[in-house]
Amino acid sequence: MVHKGTASRVMAGSRSLLCPARLSLRLLVVYGLIFITITFSFGFKMHMKQYLPVALSVLPALASPTPASQGTATQTTDDDFKVYTISAENITAKFIPYGARLTSLLVPDRSGNLQDVVVGYDDPKEYLHDTETNHTFFGAVVGRYANRIKNGTFEIGTKEYHIPENENGGIDTLHGGTVGYDQRNWTVTASSKSTVTFSLLDSGFEDFPGDVITHATFSVDADRSPENPNGLPRLTTKLVSLALTEKTPIMLANHIYWNLNAFKEETILNDTFLQLPLSQRYVATDGILIPNGTISDVAQSNHGVMDFTSGKLVGQDLQYSEGVCGTGCIGYDNCFIVDRPPAVAAPDSMASVVKMNSSTTGIALEVMTNQQALQIYACNGQNGTIPVKESQVKRNDGGAKYVNKHGCLVIETEGWIDGINNPQWGQLPYQEFSPESEPAVNWATYTFSTIP
């Protein structure tokens, strides 16, 4: 099950963190085997409750840095930017440990030519530079708590916590604080031809309560199954986090910037159809995108600008969006609530929440998730200063050379924004976890097809 190459890569990736090396590495490989066997052979969901907490709880002991290596845990190494490529029929994805980040995703367009449908950089080291400058979070896993936290404060029980405020000049927290999971160098704990698992032990980072261990498993497949009857190319992401020592907020998300026209157009406004079939409600926000407590109906929004329930071009109603994405903003940066039909679906079941397609390339994407909401960001803040990957430009005859305003769309499957500060919404069971609770599981699938 674990290939020879896999084992040696596991060893190379984790050597600096593990001690004593031989014993820990053997255990780690065994652990990886158990983890993969459980999640992929028997089905993740069915067995998760029984197996996962046990399996997960073994890892911290394996991954804890020893006192000797602790001081050097943040040093620069090439391993952090090593590219892990996974592939299956008609889908190839590349990742790096820095931010457990998706850097490229190739799928065929309607003519059968491969297109890269995610935004990023060809040179992995550019992601570090990006963090220091534009800080786009391109392709990363964000956490410990994705999206915004009002005032950087929250309560667990009667205790108030205060975490670093890294946005708007220090009045709120975005994506986990000053050094979020996007800047962490995750350890590769398992990999194969079609899967890679990144693990991160968060030992009270950014003043969040207690320790949390996360395994981010990415896999690709094109297997025929009841959920994928046509054997379409598909990316699956499972972000599994366990609170180890204290009750804490946990809300991870993928921060992938999509562009289904692969930059053959200057923006995505005129060629990209977007449907959010289960999102009849969204979380209203103030001028700096902090929830103001009101839950709004998309049908009541100005000219239905927020209504994607039956699908429309992303740009169709853009002109009416002023104010919905913050003061002076035109575009989208909103938390769309996912309401599963109660009669047919459990509140945390996998549901189809996004359908998107590009008339330019013919590439279509369907997103399914177990999460309670979607943050949709239409790249309102991009401004044509970051160059499009050269590898993408080379595939195009014309098109965009820079990542323009509205030149992409971020889809974050996650919980309701700042649900921890709005207990009246009833979202705490999905956002607070403790050593006694189940793990937090953010599960999503991205399935690709083409339209005529």
Ligand X SMILES: *[C@@H]1O[C@H](CO)[C@@H](O)[C@H](O)[C@H]1NC(C)=O
User: Which residues form the catalytic set?
Assistant: 255, 412
Taking CB under 6 A as the rule, does residue 333 contact ligand X?
Answer: no
Instruction: Judge if the upstream peptide bond of residue 209 is cis by omega within 30 degrees of 0.
Output: no
Segment near ligand X (CB under 6 A); pick from 7-15, 182-190, 209-217, 252-260? 182-190
Phi, psi torsion values for 94, nearest 5 degrees: -120, 140
CA angle 191/195/198 to nearest 5° reads 60
Select 192 or 267, whichever has its Cβ closest to ligand X: 267
Taking CB under 6 A as the rule, does residue 330 contact ligand X?
Answer: no
Of 179, 295, 350, 428, the one binding ligand X by CB under 6 A: 179
Footprint of ligand X on 213-242 (CB under 6 A): 222
Taking CB under 6 A as the rule, does residue 358 contact ligand X?
Answer: no
Of 16, 37, 69, 153, the one binding ligand X by CB under 6 A: 153
Taking CB under 6 A as the rule, does residue 275 contact ligand X?
Answer: yes
How many whole angstroms separate alpha carbon 299 and alpha carbon 312? 14
Taking CB under 6 A as the rule, does residue 89 contact ligand X?
Answer: yes
- b (16+ CB within 10 A) / e for 39-72: bbeeebeeebeebbeebbebbbebbbbeeeeeee
Segment near ligand X (CB under 6 A); pick from 7-15, 245-253, 262-270, 334-342? 262-270
Q: Least CB distance from residue 360 to ligand X, whole Å?
A: 10
Q: Is 326 left (phi over 0), alpha (psi -120 to 50) or beta?
A: left
Select 100 or 444, whichever has its Cβ closest to ligand X: 100
Segment near ligand X (CB under 6 A); pick from 62-70, 379-387, 409-417, 424-432? 379-387
How many whole angstroms separate alpha carbon 118 and alpha carbon 138? 9
Residue type, 184: R
Taking CB under 6 A as the rule, does residue 355 contact ligand X?
Answer: yes
Of 72, 292, 319, 349, the one binding ligand X by CB under 6 A: 292
Taking CB under 6 A as the rule, does residue 300 contact ligand X?
Answer: no
Q: Least CB distance from residue 123 to ligand X, whole Å?
A: 11
Q: What separation in angstroms does the CA of 352 have from each of 220, 338, 339?
A: 18, 10, 11
Query: H or E segment at 69?
Result: helix 67-70
Is there a contact between 445 and 363 (Cβ–Cβ < 8 Å)? no
Query: Residues in contact with ligand X, total (CB under 6 A)?
Result: 37
Footprint of ligand X on 31-70 (CB under 6 A): none
Taking CB under 6 A as the rule, does residue 158 contact ligand X?
Answer: no
Q: Least CB distance from residue 112 to ligand X, whole Å?
A: 3
Segment near ligand X (CB under 6 A); pick from 176-184, 213-221, 336-344, 410-418? 176-184
Of 8, 76, 302, 327, the one binding ligand X by CB under 6 A: 76
Q: What separation in angstroms does the CA of 333 have from each of 131, 374, 406?
A: 20, 10, 11
Of 35, 208, 273, 377, the one binding ligand X by CB under 6 A: 273
Q: For residue 149, what are its two tokens? A: 């936290």
Of 25, 239, 276, 386, the one binding ligand X by CB under 6 A: 386
Which residues, other chains included, contact 367 with Cβ-Cβ below 8 Å and sequence gap of 6+? 352, 353, 354, 355, 356, 411, 413, 444, 445, 446, 447
Q: Is 331 left (phi over 0), alpha (psi -120 to 50) or beta?
A: left
Q: Least CB distance from residue 171 to ligand X, whole Å?
A: 9
Q: Least CB distance from residue 270 to ligand X, whole Å?
A: 4
DSSP 98: B
How many whole angstroms separate alpha carbon 307 and alpha carbon 286? 19
Residues pairing with 283 in the sheet: 295
Q: Which residues bind ligand X (CB under 6 A)?
A: 74, 76-77, 80, 89-90, 98, 108, 112, 128, 133-134, 151, 153, 162, 179, 183-185, 222, 266-267, 269-270, 273, 275, 284, 292-294, 311, 355, 357, 383, 385-386, 451
